[in-house]
Structures are given as C-alpha cells and as structure tokens.
Chains A and B, each alone.
Chain A
C-alpha cells in the first residue's frame, strides 16, 4: 500500500487517504477535434512498466489533486508535484534521471510555464 506526500499540505498520506485518478497530463480534446484525437484522449493510456505519471487526490485530507511520478514495477516514488502543470517539472525529471539515467521525457522540451488548458471564455459563451 503506497504512501505519497501531498505537495499541497506536506502530509505523507497512505493509499487509503488518497483517491487514484489515472494517468496524468492528458491533453483534453473537445468539440472540433478529430475522431482519432478524441479516441486517444479518452481511451489511449501508456500503462508502462517503469516510470509513470499519475493523478492522485488527497481525498481524506486537503482535497487537492496532485501528480506523482513513480515506477510502476518497483513502486519507487520519484516525487509528487502540482497538478497545475502541463508536464512534469524539471525537478521531477531530474529526480527520475538520478535513479533511471536512461529514462528520457517523451514530451517536447519546453518551459513548464503555468499555462492552463487553452479554453477561452469567448468560445464558451458564444
């Protein structure tokens, strides 16, 4: 049974205090997306043996969703971090590579600025 440290309240919570939320960093595809994009968004999951990024909610705690980077085979936890980031942070990447030197990010190197999903109010209130 895992323990993960909630980055929002600093509590090392055990699995019974947490709610799992599946793969992290999915990019939402809404109306206007192709069938292939939408299918991939809804159904395609990486399910790797090894380094994986997941969503967890500190449900019996501060209620915040956070991200965890861990190895699905050894259950080693490389770190937990904010949910408000489109990709794992550079600190997390460094922590993973410290233990898994051969591991490389599979997203394009780009600054992990705190940019929320691209949904403008105008398009919604049309």
Chain B
C-alpha cells in the first residue's frame, strides 16, 4: 500500500488510521494522507521534504520539528476568505480536501528567484538594512522603502473576510494544568484528589506528550492516568487547546480548537478561554535544540526527537538512511526507533568523548557505528541531504570521512518550555550540569496575594526524564555544544544556522557582538534572531550561548530575551470573539429608531448611539436634505429625536449646594418649574459638558447632559459625591433611557402640540421660555421643557420611553398639513451655529474654558467655589491673549474648511508659520443663504472686522472677517414664537 506516498512505512504510526485516506493539494499537486496525519507528516509521506523557503535568503526549507516550535514548515492554508498564511504544517491536522501552498517562493518552490539573495549572503550581514539604507536620506522614501516593502512579510494576507465564527468564554478554575504529558496528567490527578476544580489543557489532539514514544510502557502509564482523571467529576480535560499566555493575577488565555478540522460544522472555529486560575501548573515539557554545524539548515536535517515522532507517531520515514548527531544520550532513542522501523542508521556522531550509557550501548549492540568525539563538518545537498562530512569535534573542521545519508537527526540538548512561567515574571536559573535555563522555584510569578501563581513540573521544571513517572534510567550528561566543531573557522560559521526562518547564523551573532551589541535584547533586534513567527523557540538558547562565547562571559551573565505571549500565534478572530458584524459594538437605539430607519434616515454615530444625521428623500443629497429640514423648521415645524440627551436626577436636601459645586452657574437658586442652562468644568477648569437643568421640586433637579456625556457625567457626579462630599445628602440616578424626548421646533410648534390635545397648558403664560410643565399630551404622560437650541419656538417633550414612538407618530400624523419635518443632527448643528450656540466637542477640545467662549454670563460671580473655579484663576487661564470665540464670515462665498488655522506674521522655532486661531464650526447656512463659521481667535472679540487668512494646501487661501458669532435673530425674538 503506497497510495499514501512513498515514504509511508509499511507498519506503525500510533496516531494515524490508515483505513481513512485523505486527499489534499500542495502547490496544485494532488496528494494523499491518512486520518491522524499532520500536514507535515502527510507531506513527508509523499516525499515532499521541502515545504518552504526562508525569509531572507530564500533558502530551501523542510521541517526540523514535529510540533509548535517548527520555524520552517509554514504554509498558506485554505482558499478565499478562509486563506491563512504562515500555518504550521507540524501542528495542522490534515483535513480531506485541504488546499495548501508554499510561501516566500516565486515562481515556484523549486526555482525561486529570490534565492539569489542566498548567493549574496556575504553582502547581507547582521544589521544590513540599518547600515545600507541610511544614506542618502532622500533615497529611503523613494527607492529603498518601496523595494523593501515589496519583499517584506512572510506569506500573503487574505483578501476576503473570514467566513468563520469565533467565540470567547470565561472560566474560574482552582488549578489549571498546562500540558497533557505524564507530568501534567499526574499533577492534575494530584490536584483533583485534593478536591480542587482542575482543568488540564493539551495543545495537541493527544494526551501523553513524549512518554508513549520515549519510554517503555509509556502508553500504558498514560492510559492509566487518563482513566483515573476521566472518572473525576472535578476534572476537565481539553485537547487541541493551547495555553498562549499567563497574565496578572492568574489570568490565563487559552485557545481551544473547535472546528479547525471541519470548517463546515457550523460552529465557531476556535474559542478563546479567558481563565482566572487559582494556580497554574506549567507542564509544558521541553524542546530539543538544534546543533550549529555547517549546513544544519539543509532540508532533511531534522531534530532527533522529531525524526522518531514522524516514524513512531505517523509511520513516516523522514529519510531512508539516517545519521544521528548529538551531544547527549537521548538522541540514541532515535537510532533505535529508526532501526525498529527498518531504516538504515549510518552512524551516530557524538560530540562527547565517551558515550557509555544504556542507550548508546543498545545502539552499538544493533551494529551501528558510534563515533565519539566527532562532529559534522558540512552537509552535502541543496534541496535535501545527500551526504554528511565528518570531522573531530575538538578541531577546526578538517574532513575525516564522508557518509552518504538522506536525513540527519540532530540533538543539541533540551530546553524546558518556560514561557508561561516567564510571561508574568517567573525567573530562571542556568544549569551548567544540564546546559539549560530552568525555572527557579524560589522566584515564581506572583499573584494578587503575593504568593506563587504558577509552578513547573516535569521536563518544564528541568526534570527531563521524570524517572519516578516514566521509569526511565539515568542518562549521561549533555555536553554543551554551541558551535560544531568547537574551533570552526569563521567561513564555516556563515553556514551554521541559529534562526532558520529569519536566516540568522552564528556569524551574524558574532558580528553583532563585535560591533558592540552586548545586550541580548539589542542583539536580538539587530540580527532579528528569534523575531520570526516561531519567536525563536528552537534558536534562542543557541543564539545567546554564541553571544556569551563571543562576549567571553558565562551564559547567565547574558541572560535571556523576554518571553512574551502568545506562545503560538492567536488568530485575530479569537481575539475579536463575538464582536463582529451587527454586534461588533453595542449600537444604542432610541425608541424611535425603527421609524427613522423606515424613513431612510442616514445615521451618524454619537458615542454608541446611532442618530439620524438627516432624512434624505429619494435621490436627494445629504446637503440638500439638511437644507430642506432647516427651512422647514424655520418656516413651520420640525421634530428632532432628542432621546439620547443625558438625563440625571439629583435629589436630596443638599442637592442645591451640590449642583452649585458641579456647575459654573447657580443652580440652587433656580425656582421650581424653571430651567437653566449650565456648564460643567473639570477641576482643570476646562469645559467638559453642558445642558439644561430643571428644578422639579424643592429637593429634586433633573439635569440634561450632552448625548455622549450621560454616563461620563453621571460618573463625574458620583465621583465627587462619593469621594469628596460623602456626608452631603444627595442621590443621583441616570434615567437617560427611561424617557423618550422629542424636540418640537418651529413657529408652528405650539399649534402642532395643541392639536394632539391633552391635559396640559402650553400657552406662553403657563409655559414661558425656560419653563417646564407636567401633564398629558395625546393621553401620554409628559413633561415639557420650553428650551431652544435652534433659536425657534421650541418644546422638548419627554414621555416614558415605551410611548416615545406613539408620540412621534402622532406628531407626524397631526402635522401633515404643517409640513412637519423630521430633522437630524446636522440640521440641529447648523441651526445652533446660526444662533452662535456652542457645541461640546466642536467649540471645546479639552483646552477651552467657558471664558474663552464668551460665556462668563454662565459663571456665577457669587459662588465661593465650584469645580474648575480655582483653575480658571491661574495666570494662563486669565491671559488676555487666549483664543476666544468669534464668528467668521467668508469673504468669497466659499465655506471655510473645518479645523483650518488662521496664520499670523512670522515663524516659530521650527520654521513653521505662526497661527492665531482656528475654525471650530463651519456650515453653509440655508437660512441666510451664505457660509457661516465660528472659531477661536487670539483676542478675537476685540478684533471685530479684521480679516484673517486661512491657507489650505492646494487651494487659494481662504479669507474671513471676524464678526459676532450670532448670525441669526440676534435679538432672540423667534424663541417666543
């Protein structure tokens, strides 16, 4: 049966099911794998060793690992909206019908033009970009940058929206064990026996880790533990679930694959768990390190553990004739597994002078040559290994022998996976005996209680064999080998890869050290070591060891770079979770929202609210619609949905004096039944909100805020009440959404409202300007405020929210002959500007005080204090040279652009033209049939009649005359109807 490819072994493969064949495509070619394959094992089974090209030199790349640490085998996966670049073939389960493509190669994987960089490697040393593209400066923008941008980036971004769904979920767990190997399974069982709630998360689809492959009876030991755990009600086991980061106070992010294997399941593809863990047990195992010998990046040079994984787990031969190269006993396991699978093991090259443990003895007993004190001097082959050149490890690389081989299984020792431990501050110790950084249990990451929030077990703790769990016998020590052979000449180091994806070699790190990069963090960024998508999982320790040697200092003196989450890349989809499409953001809707929609309103966002900007009719432009709405209001009557205005109840015996502190004006003296406009400042003195307050009773006020300010102002009110004047008897309540509010505006406003009938007297006598009254309109309980933001006769009618639509519809029914016109926020903005009224956020920007806006009339002179008063006395605030509000009259009939600056004479220290003011609001006024604008201008009110110049790039400068900001109905008679 060779249907699944020439390199599938006749037997074996503990994770695959040969009965289920799965077709897939790679670079357009049809291939077959079997159920249980990863993409990498399936490609290898088909003899496809080369899976990509490196980033910088476009070197041929095959997989070097079998798991999450893989730097090379990155593929473009899927099609259309489901296309994803940089997917790890070693961790991607094979799915029938999968479409995959190699990356970073053009026109094809085998004949890639970019590989010319490979012949120019001497000209691309570390820091090449920094050194080369500095001068001449203008070249950067027009020559260098476009070229670099075109060749930058690994893989292509998808061009269509992702059709998959994602979700998030929260969990609160006593103990989360990360890693389902034998140490993790045991830790989970122990914690569960203590009665704690326990989660165990395993990144692969299989529990057991390395134990089933590496230890006699391993599978049985794992199965026994699993059986026990599955019987415990307080244990949750999750496979295909990757812990990506541990954050403050035991916050653990975990990504669970739900339908990665089946895009058509109709369920979210992945789920991001946001876990609060009482304690995290890090049982993440260890990763094997490559050895740095010349040609260690040729496809077919694979980590020894990965070679035996492919054979044992997937029944795939990465090669037929294997050379093992090592500095430790563990790699001998690979030789034994290969022999058991019927493959040739040409030799074991051991850098150590002796290799006498049980594993080397077992290999020798099978008749395999074991060459101690030896090293690899070079690898022959381009797209795959052809032969290996040997030398003495202690020498400088004189070739002693050449051995034919198609696969090199290398092992440079093991590094505990300490990422989760380190993400939140856990510290490491260097172990000379084991040549590894291992967690220091005395310096753990700490949680809210100051105690350890994580602990490490098993290989992650530096206990590679966990003999008490695996039954493993002791092994001889690993010999530190950072460069092979020990005295390799510089030329050889140009061929020794550290970072396989980013093409960082031993020579680059040594050059960085020579050029003065002594900090490992700086060297990382200068050489890009460990900055590729694998984040240096297999390269970092080798790199910093080379750096230490170059700097002549011990490895702990160099230290590690910072471990940052995520451990493996997270999809943006899981981070967004449910927040996409209709529920990307909470859109706030008023009770009349559906009516606006049905009328074809064009909405604009105001905070999270969607408010009608205007109601275009037919093919009418927005500008035309706004103009029509304004004319209708000024001529007859219009309605504005003002439900979004903030409404806060302030009640209590101290409410008056409290409001006097919150507002610049006097609110305590407001008579019952009256309204007063007020300004709210921050303690910095700056104007932050405005609105009309109404006194409802002796001890109760209702204050209106801006639409965007309701929650913020309620918070501001509560802040001062709770934290400063906590003995004042005041209650506040944000009742914004209890009320629907309709502004009925225009000379016919009273006529229209009276038509609705009801128990309420809206006559000027009963309800004068700036008064309010309670009653019933059209059978609906209502409170009516006679306030005006347009200058017209205006009634703001508040009714319970559930009856808002009813009132709105009745108004439109009753006012048809009056041409009652719904108007939007833009018409409101223009009308208020025609009247010279300010708008928070237009005339204010967080640096403007009420005095700048000519609003001293709204500031009580009698009050000893209010929030912002002291700040407004500061010298900068009282500077007569401050920019102040004026009207601006365009000289040539063009509407001034919003936000443009008025220039002054002279230039500042940076050679920029000095400025003396800017436009804050600018519109075409349909009422006056000419442009109007407001702006802040230095000493503006004293400069009436002066002409300012507003240059705009690419246009003739605008010129405008300083005028009074009230453009329409200066005497204010229209508000009285």
Binding site for B on A (CB under 8 A): 1-3, 14, 19, 21, 28-33, 35, 38, 42, 55, 57, 59, 63-65, 71, 74-77, 83-84, 99, 116-117, 119, 121, 123-126
CA distance A115 to B450 in the complex (A): 32
Within 8 A of A (CB), among B380-436: 425
CA distance A29 to B276 in the complex (A): 41
Asked if B725 lies at the interface with its beta carbon under 8 angstroms from chain A, I say yes
Which 5 residue pairs spanning A and B have beta carbons closest together? A76-B450, A116-B727, A84-B726, A77-B448, A1-B251
- Having A14-B276, A28-B724, A84-B722, one finds 20 other A-B pairs with CB under 8 Å, namely A2-B448, A28-B683, A31-B864, A31-B869, A31-B870, A38-B871, A38-B874, A42-B684, A59-B715, A74-B425, A74-B446, A75-B249, A76-B449, A77-B449, A83-B726, A116-B725, A123-B864, A124-B660, A124-B865, A126-B862
A125 partner residues in chain B, CB cutoff 8 A = 657, 660, 668
Binding site for A on B (CB under 8 A): 247-249, 251, 276, 425, 446-450, 654, 657, 660-661, 668, 683-684, 715, 718-719, 722-727, 862-865, 869-871, 873-874
CA distance A126 to B657 in the complex (A): 11
| Inter-subunit contact A83/B450 (CB<8 Å) | no
| Inter-subunit contact B668/A38 (CB<8 Å) | no
B171 to chain A, nearest CB (A): 12
| Inter-subunit contact B871/A55 (CB<8 Å) | no
Contact of B869 among A3, A30, A65, A83 (CB under 8 A): A30
Contact of A123 among B654, B726, B865, B871 (CB under 8 A): B865
Given contacts A38-B870, A42-B683, A116-B726, contact A65 B719 (CB under 8 A): yes
B311 to chain A, nearest CB (A): 43
For B250, the closest partner residue in chain A by CB is A3
CA distance A33 to B873 in the complex (A): 11
| Inter-subunit contact B864/A126 (CB<8 Å) | yes
| Inter-subunit contact A3/B276 (CB<8 Å) | yes
CA distance A1 to B660 in the complex (A): 38
A38 partner residues in chain B, CB cutoff 8 A = 870-871, 874
CA distance A119 to B446 in the complex (A): 43
For A3, the closest partner residue in chain B by CB is B249
| Inter-subunit contact A21/B719 (CB<8 Å) | yes
Given contacts A28-B724, A42-B684, contact A19 B715 (CB under 8 A): yes
CA distance A65 to B720 in the complex (A): 10
B581 to chain A, nearest CB (A): 22
Given contacts A2-B249, A76-B450, A123-B865, contact A30 B870 (CB under 8 A): yes
A57 partner residues in chain B, CB cutoff 8 A = 715, 718-719
- Secondary structure at the A interface, as helix, strand, loop or mixed, is loop
Contact of A1 among B247, B718, B724, B869 (CB under 8 A): B247
CA distance A20 to B862 in the complex (A): 34
For A75, the closest partner residue in chain B by CB is B248
Given contacts A30-B869, A74-B446, A76-B450, contact A2 B248 (CB under 8 A): yes
Given contacts A31-B864, A38-B871, contact A1 B249 (CB under 8 A): yes
A71 partner residues in chain B, CB cutoff 8 A = 450
B681 to chain A, nearest CB (A): 13
B661 partner residues in chain A, CB cutoff 8 A = 119, 124
B719 partner residues in chain A, CB cutoff 8 A = 21, 57, 65
CA distance A116 to B729 in the complex (A): 13
Inter-chain contact count A-B, CB under 8 Å?
94
A74 partner residues in chain B, CB cutoff 8 A = 425, 446, 450
CA distance A41 to B657 in the complex (A): 23
CA distance A21 to B715 in the complex (A): 11
| Inter-subunit contact A117/B725 (CB<8 Å) | yes
Please list 16 pairs of residues, one from A and one from B, whose beta carbons are closer than 8 Å in the complex, sorted by A's number: A2-B248, A3-B276, A3-B448, A30-B869, A30-B870, A31-B864, A31-B870, A33-B870, A75-B447, A77-B449, A117-B724, A119-B724, A123-B864, A124-B657, A125-B660, A126-B864
CA distance A77 to B722 in the complex (A): 22
CA distance A63 to B731 in the complex (A): 13
| Inter-subunit contact B249/A42 (CB<8 Å) | no
For B451, the closest partner residue in chain A by CB is A76
A117 partner residues in chain B, CB cutoff 8 A = 724-725
CA distance A120 to B924 in the complex (A): 50
| Inter-subunit contact B871/A124 (CB<8 Å) | no
A21 partner residues in chain B, CB cutoff 8 A = 719
A64 partner residues in chain B, CB cutoff 8 A = 722
CA distance A124 to B447 in the complex (A): 46
CA distance A94 to B661 in the complex (A): 36
B722 partner residues in chain A, CB cutoff 8 A = 64-65, 83-84
B251 partner residues in chain A, CB cutoff 8 A = 1, 14
CA distance A60 to B568 in the complex (A): 32
B690 to chain A, nearest CB (A): 21
| Inter-subunit contact A75/B448 (CB<8 Å) | yes
For A33, the closest partner residue in chain B by CB is B870
A77 partner residues in chain B, CB cutoff 8 A = 448-449
| Inter-subunit contact B863/A124 (CB<8 Å) | yes
Given contacts A2-B448, A57-B719, contact A31 B865 (CB under 8 A): yes
Which one of B447, B448, B684, B727 has the highest number of Cβ atoms from chain A below 10 Å of its Cβ? Answer: B448
CA distance A117 to B724 in the complex (A): 6
CA distance A33 to B723 in the complex (A): 20
CA distance A42 to B871 in the complex (A): 9
B862 partner residues in chain A, CB cutoff 8 A = 126
| Inter-subunit contact A76/B448 (CB<8 Å) | yes
Contact of B718 among A65, A84, A119 (CB under 8 A): A65
CA distance A6 to B693 in the complex (A): 33
B672 to chain A, nearest CB (A): 18
A58 to chain B, nearest CB (A): 11
For B732, the closest partner residue in chain A by CB is A63
CA distance A55 to B715 in the complex (A): 13
B630 to chain A, nearest CB (A): 39
CA distance A75 to B873 in the complex (A): 39
CA distance A57 to B721 in the complex (A): 13
| Inter-subunit contact A63/B718 (CB<8 Å) | yes
CA distance A117 to B660 in the complex (A): 16
A113 to chain B, nearest CB (A): 12
B424 to chain A, nearest CB (A): 9
| Inter-subunit contact A35/B874 (CB<8 Å) | yes
For B658, the closest partner residue in chain A by CB is A124
B715 partner residues in chain A, CB cutoff 8 A = 19, 57, 59
CA distance A28 to B869 in the complex (A): 12
Given contacts A19-B715, A35-B874, A75-B249, contact A99 B869 (CB under 8 A): no
For B448, the closest partner residue in chain A by CB is A77
For A19, the closest partner residue in chain B by CB is B715
CA distance A63 to B276 in the complex (A): 23
B9 to chain A, nearest CB (A): 48
For B875, the closest partner residue in chain A by CB is A35
B723 partner residues in chain A, CB cutoff 8 A = 55, 65, 83-84
| Inter-subunit contact A121/B657 (CB<8 Å) | yes
CA distance A57 to B683 in the complex (A): 19
For A16, the closest partner residue in chain B by CB is B274
Which one of B715, B723, B870 has the highest number of Cβ atoms from chain A below 10 Å of its Cβ? Answer: B723
A2 partner residues in chain B, CB cutoff 8 A = 248-249, 448
| Inter-subunit contact B726/A99 (CB<8 Å) | no
| Inter-subunit contact A119/B725 (CB<8 Å) | yes
| Inter-subunit contact A29/B870 (CB<8 Å) | yes
For B661, the closest partner residue in chain A by CB is A124
A38 to chain B, nearest CB (A): 6
B865 partner residues in chain A, CB cutoff 8 A = 30-31, 119, 123-124
CA distance A33 to B683 in the complex (A): 14
B280 to chain A, nearest CB (A): 14
CA distance A65 to B717 in the complex (A): 12
For B669, the closest partner residue in chain A by CB is A125
CA distance A31 to B870 in the complex (A): 5
A23 to chain B, nearest CB (A): 12
CA distance A116 to B874 in the complex (A): 26
A13 to chain B, nearest CB (A): 11
B444 to chain A, nearest CB (A): 11
B683 partner residues in chain A, CB cutoff 8 A = 28, 42
A32 partner residues in chain B, CB cutoff 8 A = 870
For B251, the closest partner residue in chain A by CB is A1
